[in-house]
Structure 1
């Protein structure tokens, strides 16, 4: 088709005919089927068609041009700012849109626009950061579901902070293996807060009991989280817990009772400021006096020193293959250090609760093994 004739014809043609012709001209342009002079004329004609009163014509152009690297940049930019049904094709697919273009549209666009950008086949770290920082919950959920999105740890944290209470986002975050450990803990806390405020939970338990039960559940979930957290993320998780005020003596006693000695070491490094290799050496085989000095430097009560030393010695023997023991035996020895079942006070009560939890867990596992036999 001669371009000059096309422009004369387009002024009187029906919408369906103009849309079909615009698509054909756009395909011929991106396929590079035209000589240079005709390509220049075709580009001018396509630019003129941006002013067509029918969105169907512009939508046909967008369909033909949206996936090509050879489309005219000015036309792509105009189509990306067009009506939603036109812009959607370009925003979702065009490789000509730069990160700056996409970030600008994330900032100024509505929910559908943000979601389209989050769903692109490839999303850079900077665009992901923009969505995490200002995107709606739907866009963040789409971003997390996109295997072609590159997401920084900081962006995970921002989505957790901003939308962790939204079920769809929370589920997508938890399902993502890249989610940092401190973000997982933050989600646990948000879920606990949501449940604590549930009318059903309050009606069944009352506010005080709901608070206590959910706090205990969060502590136990945090211990489980430590098991799945790589050692190089321990420092970040420790800092997160410390800033939240959750890195308490009772929590650290639980971590040692459950054999999370590496995490306990990371906590001592953060609390004392001592070198990681020194703390590790003391926990692995240091004299009691030196370990007590380390615990004192960490701000741990002297009342807890004895049970912590008892547990650490058992876990050392387990690590060296000299002993077979689990949480049940370790917690019993810790309780024995405090005076046994007759001991009273907050610390014995804590160790008793750890021991009872271990007994219940072991009994449950035994019962399931019998049932499966």
Structure 2
């Protein structure tokens, strides 16, 4: 038999010769043209080659067998447990490795192995969850760049929680269109915390000023985030904000001033536990008394009701095509509801700040338009 001669020959052959012979024998095995007895002998020979002292021989076997559905499973298992230059091809490509096999190897904690598994052409949701839960940062980054990976919302959340403070992973997460809105907000907060703690920023403007600038930037970023958040994701984002303590009355007032009426409605649904159709109907056409009752149920102070109702009426007219208005006009009318520029108190300060920000933004846009003309 050819295989019997091969087994005698390998003890004296050079490494380069053994490499070529191992690859040829592996190809002959997966071609499935060998008679049954010769297949059995070839499998025995390939198994023996797992003990070859040269990793190049085992690597040659791995390259040939890694994509075959008909490779000997015990050989695939052994090659997958070999050193990275041998196991790489098998871990990335072999269809014989089950999710359970791969999850066990991810749990082993070797950074290189985790990254190889995360780069497989197809990564199931269960395997992605294991990488998100116990994988190193590099494996999570590779997973996020893998278009063949099926990543659940919970797995995105775990990666954001574990590695959102690392710029490389944070950038990969933010760049993924599948990232849920609540995770995006979490990363915005982490970015703000990183900037706030930067020695350069602290030296430049001081701790108190850095905290205020960061807080204001996070609020603005959150409002921008709402614009790109689908309605079906509002509930998750609202729960995230609520748990963080960021779903405040001042934030809700900002959302209304900026015309985020759908998001405001979703927040009221969560806060009041009333049905979505009822809340939507009240915001779309409810009388003042009904709106006040809704705001009370949401825990909004009586002092905020007037400006919220004033803003809602303006946005209703805009939605119905009866009026053209933006944040600047709405915030000005909200301020008038409080007594105009002379109004005092925390609520007036908040509405004034919204109005001034709108003025600055509009002036900036106008200047850019002039420059571009």
Same fold, TM-score > 0.5, yes or no:
yes
The residue number in structure 2 matching 1:108 is: 108
Distance 1:109 1:158 in 2: 17
Q: Deviations over 1:204-247 (max 9, x none)?
A: 11000100111000000000000000011111100000000000
Distance 1:130 1:255 in 2: 37
C-alpha displacement at 1:33, in angstroms? 2.7
Bigger shift: residues 72-81 or 7-16: 7-16
C-alpha displacement at 1:31, in angstroms? 1.4
C-alpha displacement at 1:338, in angstroms? 0.3
Instruction: Give matches, 1:215-294, under 5 Å.
Output: 215-294=215-294
Q: Are positions 1:98 and 2:101 aligned together?
A: no
Distance 1:104 1:120 in 2: 15
Distance 2:228 2:12 in 1: 68
Distance 1:54 1:371 in 2: 68
Partner SS state of residue 67, structure 1? coil
Question: How large is the RMSD of aligned CA atoms in angstroms?
Answer: 0.8
The residue number in structure 2 matching 1:179 is: 179
C-alpha displacement at 1:368, in angstroms? 1.0
Partner SS state of residue 33, structure 2? coil
The residue number in structure 2 matching 1:326 is: 326
Instruction: Give matches, 1:52-63, under 5 Å.
Output: 52-63=52-63
The residue number in structure 1 matching 2:119 is: 119
Distance 1:271 1:221 in 2: 22
Q: Are positions 1:297 and 2:290 aligned together?
A: no
TM-score normalised over the length of structure 1:
0.99
Structure 1: stretches of 5+ with no match in the other structure = none
The residue number in structure 2 matching 1:208 is: 208
Instruction: Give matches, 1:67-78, under 5 Å.
Output: 67-78=67-78
Partner SS state of residue 229, structure 2? coil
Distance 1:112 1:351 in 2: 53
The residue number in structure 1 matching 2:370 is: 370
Q: Deviations over 1:87-119 (max 9, x none)?
A: 112111111111011000000041100000011
Distance 1:264 1:161 in 2: 26
Distance 1:372 1:51 in 2: 70
The residue number in structure 2 matching 1:141 is: 141
Partner SS state of residue 201, structure 1? helix
Distance 2:265 2:143 in 1: 36
Structure 2: stretches of 5+ with no match in the other structure = none
**CA contact under 8 A between 2:109 and 2:134: conserved in structure 1?**
no
Distance 1:267 1:194 in 2: 28
Q: Are positions 1:339 and 2:316 aligned together?
A: no
C-alpha displacement at 1:51, in angstroms? 1.4
Bigger shift: residues 1-10 or 339-348: 1-10
**CA contact under 8 A between 2:338 and 2:348: conserved in structure 1?**
yes
Q: Are positions 1:165 and 2:165 aligned together?
A: yes
Distance 1:177 1:106 in 2: 25
Distance 2:365 2:352 in 1: 20
Distance 1:363 1:18 in 2: 75
Distance 1:324 1:54 in 2: 77
Distance 1:195 1:78 in 2: 47
C-alpha displacement at 1:41, in angstroms? 1.0
The residue number in structure 1 matching 2:188 is: 188
The residue number in structure 1 matching 2:348 is: 348
The residue number in structure 2 matching 1:66 is: 66
Distance 1:2 1:226 in 2: 70
**CA contact under 8 A between 2:311 and 2:330: conserved in structure 1?**
yes
Distance 1:216 1:325 in 2: 24
The residue number in structure 1 matching 2:30 is: 30
Distance 2:54 2:171 in 1: 42
C-alpha displacement at 1:154, in angstroms? 0.4
Q: Deviations over 1:6-34 (max 9, x none)?
A: 11111221222111111100011111231
